[in-house]
Amino acid sequence: MRYRMDLPAVLRGVNLDIPAGSRLAVVGRTGSGKSSLAAALIRYPGPGCTAGSLLVGGRDVKTVPLARLRRHIALLPQEPWVLRGSVRENLGGDACVDSDAWALLRSLGLADAVRNLPVEIAGSGGGLDGKLSTAAWSRGQRQLLALARAVLRRPAILVLDEATASLDEASEQRVLAAADNHATAAHCTVISVVHRVAIALAHDAHDRQVAVLDAGRVAEVGPARELTARDGGAFARLVQAHSAG
Ligand SMILES: Nc1ncnc2c1ncn2[C@@H]1O[C@H](COP(=O)(O)OP(=O)(O)O)[C@@H](O)[C@H]1O
Ligand SMILES: [Mg+2]
C-alpha cells in the first residue's frame, strides 16, 4: 500500500489471517505501518494505491461499497472526538435505542456522568438529551463515549488505533476491557494497535494474537507468550527494550 501513486509503498508483502471474532494486537515502532494497516482496512487511500487483496468475510473489500464497508468496520483513533451536542447525538442520533444506550453507558461507567449533565431541552431532564460539555469530561470519559458510539453501530470489526495511548492507566484498562467485553458479546473482531508491549502481554489471556510490524512488513505473528519466548525475535526484543525502561 502507498498513500499516493508517486510515493513509496508503506506496507509491503503483508499477509495476515485474522479469524472472525478473534483479537489481534498490532505492535511496532512509530512509522512501522500500524496506522496504514488500519487505513487499508477501510480502503483509505483509494484505488490504485493498493496491490493484492484484502478479504473481509471472504469478500475482497475492493468490491464492497465504501459506505457499507465503513459501516461494518469501526475505527477508534487516538484522539477521542465528541460532537458538540447531546449524548444521544453522539451515540448515533435517532438510531440510538435508549435501553441499549443506558446498558452500555452503565457498563462503561459513564451512566452517572450522563445523568448529571445539564438539561439541554426544557423538561428533558438531562440524561441522553443532556448537552455534553467536553470541558467537564476527562479524555478517558470522552474516549469511552467514542467507544460507545462505535459499538452501538454493531461493527463486525472494531479497530483501535492507539485509542488508549493518551489515557491514564485506569482509563486505559477500562476502555480495553470494554472493547473486549463487547467483542465477546457481539462476536466482533478486534484489531488493536497498542503502544505498550505490556498491553499485548496482558491480553494474551484472551488468546490474542500479536503481529509485529517493522518497516511495512509483518516481522512476526503469533500468541504473545510464544513470541516472548522466541530467542532474538522481534517481539522478544520489544519486550526486553520495554522492561529495560
Ligand atoms: N497520510 C499519509 N501520507 C503519506 N505518507 C504517510 C501518511 N501516513 C503515514 N505515512 C507514512 O507511512 C509510513 C507508516 O506510517 P504509519 O502507518 O502512520 O506508522 P505507525 O502507525 O506504525 O506509526 C511512514 O513512513 C509515514 O511517514
Ligand atoms: Mg499510528
pLDDT digits (tens, 9 = 90+) for 189-201: 999 998 777 776 7
Q: Which ligand is nearest to the CA of 211?
A: 1
Which residue's CA lies nearest to atom 18 of ligand 1? Answer: 35
- Spatial distance between the Cα atoms of 53 and 163, rounded to a whole number of angstroms: 26
Which atom from ligand 1 is nearest to the alpha carbon of 38? 17
pLDDT at 243: 78
Poorest-pLDDT segment among 13-22, 76-85, 96-105, 118-127:
118-127
Question: Residue 37 Cα, ligand 1 centroid: separation in angstroms?
Answer: 10
Which atom from ligand 1 is nearest to the alpha carbon of 161? 21
Confidence of residue 234 (pLDDT cuts 50, 70, 90): very high
In this structure, the residues whose C-beta lies within 6 A of any atom of ligand 1 are 3, 7, 10, 28, 30-36
CATH of domain 1-81+154-245: 3.40.50.300
Of residues 202 and 54, more confidently modeled: 54
Q: What is the pLDDT of residues 42-69, one digit of tens each?
A: 888 888 898 989 898 888 888 899 999 9
Question: Residue 217 Cα, ligand 2 centroid: separation in angstroms?
Answer: 15
Mean pLDDT of 71-80: 91
Identify which of 2, 27, 30, 36 to mutate to test ligand 1's pocket (most ligand atoms within 8 A of the CB).
36
Select, from the ranges 59-63, 66-70, 217-221, 235-239, the one with the highest average predicted confidence (pLDDT): 217-221
Poorest-pLDDT segment among 12-16, 51-55, 89-93, 202-206:
202-206
Mean pLDDT of 82-93: 89
Residues of the chain with CATH 3.40.50.300: 1-81+154-245
User: Is residue 202 pLDDT above 70, yes or no?
Assistant: no
- Spatial distance between the Cα atoms of 65 and 59, rounded to a whole number of angstroms: 12
User: Is residue 119 pLDDT above 80, yes or no?
Assistant: no
- Spatial distance between the Cα atoms of 160 and 190, rounded to a whole number of angstroms: 8
The whole-model pTM stands at 0.89
Q: Which residue from 191, 194, 192 is spatially nearest to 166, judged by alpha carbons?
A: 194
Which atom from ligand 1 is nearest to the alpha carbon of 213? 22
Biggest distance spanned by C-alpha atoms of the chain: 65
- Spatial distance between the Cα atoms of 6 and 15, rounded to a whole number of angstroms: 23
SS (H, E, C) the chain: CCCCCCCCCCCCCCCCCCCCCCEEEEECCCCCCHHHHHHHHCCCCCCCCCCCCCEECCEEHHHCCHHHHHHHEEEECCCCCCCCCEHHHHCCHHHCCHHHHHHHHHHCCCHHHHHCCCCCCCCCCCHHHCECCHHHCCHHHHHHHHHHHHHHCCCCEEEEECCCCCCCHHHHHHHHHHHHHHHHHHCCEEEEECCCHHHHHHHHHHCCEEEEEECCEEEEEEEHHHHHCCCCCHHHHHHHHHHCC
Residues contacting 8, CB < 8 A, separation 6+: 2
Which atom from ligand 1 is nearest to the alpha carbon of 216? 14
Mean pLDDT of 15-41: 92
Confidence of residue 217 (pLDDT cuts 50, 70, 90): very high
pLDDT at 62: 86
Which residue's CA lies nearest to atom 5 of ligand 1? Answer: 3
Mean pLDDT of 84-99: 89
User: Is residue 80 pLDDT above 60, yes or no?
Assistant: yes
Confidence of residue 121 (pLDDT cuts 50, 70, 90): low
